[in-house]
Structure 1
């Protein structure tokens, strides 16, 4: 990763250095009240993230994803992100995080709390990083008192930027961008990048969060890391492929973008400078779409909102169309691999096509798990998806030869045109899972968890 920040936009630099405190509405400590009083505009703009209520069911929109993620919790429920104010409540209620497990049993790792709340770094200091990650997600639910706010980004009580999460500190050191050695501009990007970044749970370290940047942060570099250590997140139940999962790699894509080369960061576009009722400048913490604040974000470089909107829409349509093509090819490849296994194929025959599926799906996921790829780095998005098409096409060519060799002349491709049909294909009982989740919410979350876990879900 090679980032040159020799051109810094004034609006960007201003947005970074102005004190920015976003505190939980339920906070009662003296310091929180002091911060709220000292930075009321930042606080109130953060509260406005509660207005960002729209949530799209992405499995309903793209049911092929259910097949690609079969065998993982991502196939249960997957939605578009909402405002920061919903971070704790949404992760508490989503089907992916499940329900409580019996005492002494291992459930979902508490690492899933890592980027949702400043209570995560607090608990890591108290329990140790591995002690925290070894705990069950639901067991620590009652400990989560607040959602993303000031101490996630700043030294508490000051405007000084901070990087409180150990996995982010370690990752920036790996790519030779240690936080304390960076400009304020780059520190601002890293503050966002501590969470808007891909990661995995490190199995040999009690499932602690780790960013796989030993060789670098590109899809190729991360794939090399995973392949070298023979890592996989789950074995696909249809094709028997050892699957990799990407998680919102916005920092990685941005770091290689034209915007990054010009010193334009997440803060420049998504947290622009604003004025309060008295004309005082402050940083807007209603993190949102850059075009909504075109004059304060984009106008320094782009003269026409209409032109940039058209360009973004074109890139989005092209990338989306290419992504749907990859999904269709991968779905067929998974079922062709199943047919080959059922026909008696051996690992000696199947290794190459299975690895082709693994690598193709990794690149598709590395592109599509990134929110706003078409704006952040469309060039990389196209390159990832083009390579994914090449890899899965080769995999299917090899599978066709294997199917012929083992005497299989017909492959059944089930109807997955809707979310419900795709769930039926993988044997997921959505109604049963939802009932179990609803019971858990009623008996545990509503009664024993903090109000932050109910924000937006109050009855």
Structure 2
């Protein structure tokens, strides 16, 4: 009996220790080999602040009517929250009925290293043709070392096919660049604008065939007669810009001086033993003013004041464009309701399309007021010209057809703007919460709930 009793203790110890031993054997090499960089990456969980951009800019709800961007649009948090924020967003929806279509799995592309893995396993179109929620249980890691490096090494990598193709399009194939440009490209594979190709199962594509300026991308879209959705108010075929940070940086003074994303947002720091390493807690440049800014900027206070002035100017110009666009959408509606035809409306509708594209390209960028304010303000000024010309067209057409005066809604708050487009946010939140409780919390990896 005593022998059996002892044997049971041994078996119990093995059962307890086995998972621990397995975990030790499979411990991520990056965590041990690059411990300081790993600690910096892990510290992005401290970057919890996020702003409800629709509450700050309610006019955006009208501009994005017909698109899920009018449902929810928050400023980004730290990299640690990438999977959770995508999972919980109202934009990614809920469970898909059998035979139905939901958001493309392409929405996972820049949130996790599981995306390149799944692309290799399923093929690009197999991955992109899947539903976002159906692949949710497959997502087990948030933005990580292998998104930017050959796993287990410091060598830079560009694992996403859409980025490899795009960099080659503009004459910057990744393997032929110096380490500085490669560093910028690893950020640029995600901090960039893109769209989903409808003819290729919603595969991610960067529209750079003619170049990566707002004008060149617009030419590409217009040539293809591409649009993401038809605006329900003005009937405009719409375009959407998505954080074109790499594009705007590439034409900036910083780029001319070989100052990249890494230089400012992931600077070289020194540990207590005097060893240098790259800080992987991606953060604002001003935090590291002495290391990264002081070489060119004499005073932190002066630079801060310049950035605040740029930001205020961009914000004021952006709001001006937004308000003009809201009026244009409703003035187009009045003309349509009055009996206008496409030949009469085409010029004005294209004016809305092009003006809103430039507004979006200027303001969707993270920190455009710091990266390239000159380009951003030029885009907004051009947008004012274009939307003003469009409004003149709608005024003339309305006069010709005897249309009633346009009715502009109250968009002083997000709730009022969403009510104007018929979006029931409380109902959407209720449905999303039920999906989170029944699906995400029970069947997805815990990384999908980080911070919630």
TM-score (norm 2): 0.94
The residue that corresponds to 2:83 in the other structure is 88
| 1:438 corresponds to | 433
Aligned counterparts of 1:357 and 1:106: Cα–Cα separation in 2: 29
Give the counterpart of 1:147 among 142, 159, 164.
142
Residue of structure 1 equivalent to 2:101: 106
User: Helix, strand or coil for the counterpart of 1:387?
Assistant: helix
1-structure distance, mates of 2:347, 2:199: 27
Q: CA–CA distance in 1 between the matches of 2:380 and 2:26?
A: 48
Are the aligned partners of 2:158 and 2:186 in contact in 1 as well (CA < 8 Å)? yes
RMSD: 1.1
Question: Which residue is 2:226 aligned to?
Answer: 231
> Cα–Cα, structure 1 residues 30 and 118, in superposed 2: closer, same or farther, change >3 Å?
farther
For residues 251-330 of structure 1, the aligned pairs below 5 Å read 251-330=246-325
Q: Partner of 1:380 in structure 2?
A: 375
- Mapped to 2, the partners of 1:216 and 1:32 lie a distance apart of 43
Q: 1:407 aligns with which of 402, 408, 425?
A: 402
My pick for the range that moved more, 402-411 or 153-162, is: 402-411
- Looking at structure 1, the residues matched to 78 and 25 of structure 2 have their Cα atoms a distance apart, in angstroms, of 26
Q: Deviations over 1:246-278 (max 9, x none)?
A: 000000000000000000000000001112233
Residue 166 of structure 2 corresponds to which residue in structure 1? 171
Q: State the SS of the aligned residue for 2:28.
A: helix
- 1:19 is aligned to none
Could you tell me which residue of structure 1 aligns to residue 422 of structure 2?
A: 427
Q: CA-to-partner distance for each residue in 1:138-170, whole Å, 9 max, x for gaps?
A: 000000000001000000111110000000000
- Work out the CA distance in 1 between the residues paired with 2:27 and 2:152: 8
Q: Deviations over 1:16-54 (max 9, x none)?
A: xxxxxxxxxxx9585653221111111111111000000
2:235 corresponds to which of 230, 236, 240 = 240
Equivalent residue for 2:446?
451
Compute the displacement of 1:330 (Å): 0.1
Which of the pair has more CA radius of gyration? 2
Q: Which secondary structure does the structure 2 equivalent of 1:309 belong to? A: helix
Cα distance in structure 2, aligned partners of 1:101 and 1:33:
35
Written as runs of structure 1 = structure 2, the 5 A alignment for 1:29-40 is: 30=25, 32-40=27-35
User: 1:273·1:284 contact (CA, 8 Å) conserved in 2?
Assistant: yes
Structure with bigger RCO (C-alpha 8 Å, 6+ apart): 1
Distance in 1 (alpha carbons) for counterparts of 2:104 and 2:426: 24
Counterpart in 2 of 1:365?
360
Alignment partner of 1:274: what SS? strand
Q: Find the residue that maps to 2:269 and give its secondary structure.
A: strand
Q: Which residue is 2:133 aligned to?
A: 138
Q: From 338, 352, 364, give the equivalent of 2:333.
A: 338
Paired residue secondary structure (1:443) = helix
Matched position secondary structure for 2:354: helix
Cα distance, 1:279 vs structure 2: 2.6
What is the deviation of 1:58?
0.4
Give CA deviations for 1:298-354 in whole Å, capped at 9, x if unaligned: 112111111111111111111110000000000000000000000000001000000
TM-superposed CA distance for 1:106, in Å, is 1.6
Q: Any runs of at least 4 consecutive aligned residues in structure 1 with deviations exceeding 4 A, and if so which?
A: 27-32
Aligned counterparts of 1:28 and 1:70: Cα–Cα separation in 2 = 48
Looking at structure 1, the residues matched to 133 and 68 of structure 2 have their Cα atoms a distance apart, in angstroms, of 15
CA contact (8 A) 1:76 1:430 kept: yes
> Is residue 31–residue 157 contact of structure 1 (8 Å, CA) maintained in 2?
no
Q: What is the count of residue pairs matched by the alignment?
A: 431
TM-score (norm: length of structure 1): 0.93
**Which whole-Å CA distance do the structure 1 matches of 2:155 and 2:370 have between them?**
29
Q: Secondary structure at the match of 1:103?
A: coil
Give the Cα–Cα distance (whole angstroms) in 1 for the partners of residues 227 and 111 of structure 2: 25
Residue 142 of structure 1 aligns to a residue whose secondary structure is: helix
CA–CA distance in structure 1, aligned partners of residues 284 and 91 of structure 2: 27
Corresponding residue SS for 1:104? coil
Whether 2:386 is the aligned partner of 1:391: answer yes
8 Å Cα contact 1:60/1:419 also seen in 2 = yes
Aligned equivalents of 1:317 and 1:236: distance in 2?
A: 29
- The residue that corresponds to 1:22 in the other structure is none
Task: Name the residue aligned to 1:43.
Answer: 38
Structure 2 residue 157 is matched with structure 1 residue 162: yes
What is the CA-CA distance between 1:409 and the residue it aligns to? 4.5
Shift of residue 135 of structure 1?
0.3
Query: Is the contact between residue 171 and residue 211 of structure 1 (CA under 8 Å) also seen in structure 2?
Result: yes
| 1:76 maps to which of 71, 84, 92 | 71
Secondary structure class of the residue paired with 1:277: coil
Give 2:3's aligned residue: none
Instruction: Give the corresponding residue for 2:14.
Output: none
Whole-angstrom CA distance in 2 between matches of 1:277 and 1:348: 70
Query: Which segments of 5 or more consecutive residues in structure 2 lack a partner in the other structure?
Result: 1-21
